[in-house]
Amino acid sequence: MGRSLQRLIPAVLCLLLVACVTPLIHPLRAGNGFVAEAGSSFQFGHGREGTCDNEQGCVDSDDGSGASGLNLIQLSGGYSWLFWEHVGVMVGLYFPGWENLKDGDWTGTFGMWSYFTLQGPYASIGVGPEVGVGGWALTAGTELQLWGDDAFWMPRIGGYGRVFWPYEYDHPAPDSTSDVRVRTWEIGGRLRFGPFYVQYTYYTQVEGVMYWEAYETAGYSQGMHIISVGGSVCADMFRRKERE
């Protein structure tokens, strides 16, 4: 086994156990009652990537390969209100929030999200702020359900964008491979069938790179492609079951 492979294995194993970026993990339209989502995501690097160790320091990857990871657990829970059948309000907490909030301490475990919608039987649009110990974000999104509210298992197509601003900026040197507090943004699309969804997200930092330590090695990446699968449950689903 080559030295490069020996350095890479601990980094990959570490990334399987810790959280990287948590993409959208709440619904894009409101109802009445509790809402919850759970998902898992596979993430692989994009942009500037590389690895670090005690022998060679930090070296950018020549072949475009870099940090990747599997986030097994991403959770969100909250409450939703729908007024006049067209105005929605949702608030809740999501986990984990370390990379989203640019805070590696336990205080960055959870982030608080909110989302306000204008919606009808076939479409919804919404916007809402998120806050946490490391900064705040603004999310905007939309979802189309071309078969209306009653076609529960028919596909629904959604999209969203999110921009994050840290409370305090930490601008890196041009060749920095350390964690920094800078603005980030992401865009994504979601395809939902009943309670289940599959989602793609592109996430990137405006400056610097994300940096993950693993024993005597580390991996870093400026951006991420994120593929997520998960499910949503809400009080309205249980009311639907009772009516049926």
Instruction: Please write the tens of the pLDDT for every residue from 191-231.
Output: 999 999 999 999 999 988 887 776 667 778 888 999 999 99
Residues 6 or more apart in contact with residue 231 via CB below 8 angstroms: 37, 38, 39, 195, 196, 197
Confidence of residue 10 (pLDDT cuts 50, 70, 90): very low
Residue 20: CB atoms within 10 Å: 23
Beta pairing class for 68-83 and 87-95: antiparallel
Contact criterion met (CB below 8 Å) for 75 and 94: yes
- The band of 239, judged by pLDDT with boundaries at 50, 70 and 90, is low
**pLDDT grade, residue 86 (50/70/90)?**
very high
- 223: its two tokens: 């951006």
For the stretch 37-77, pLDDT in tens is: 999 999 888 888 887 877 777 888 766 555 677 888 999 99
Rounded mean pLDDT of 85-114?
92
Give pLDDT, residue 1.
44
Cα torsion at 193, 196, 202, 204 (round to 10°)? 150
Of 164, 163, 143, 165, residue with least CA distance to 154: 143
DSSP letter at 172 equals P
Q: Where do the structural domains in the chain lie, given as residue ranges? A: 3-243
Percent helix, strand, coil in the chain, to 5, is 15, 55, 35
Share of the chain above pLDDT 70, in %: 83
- Between 116 and 208, the higher pLDDT residue: 116
Which pLDDT band, with edges at 50, 70 and 90, does 186 fall under? very high
**pLDDT of the residue at 50:** 82
Q: Specify the pLDDT at position 14.
A: 45
Give the β-pairing of 33-53 and 87-95: unpaired
Does pLDDT of 123 surpass 60? yes
Q: Which fold has domain 3-243?
A: Porin (2.40.160)
pLDDT (0 to 100) of residue 15: 46
Q: What is the DSSP letter of 173?
A: P
What pLDDT was estimated at residue 220? 83
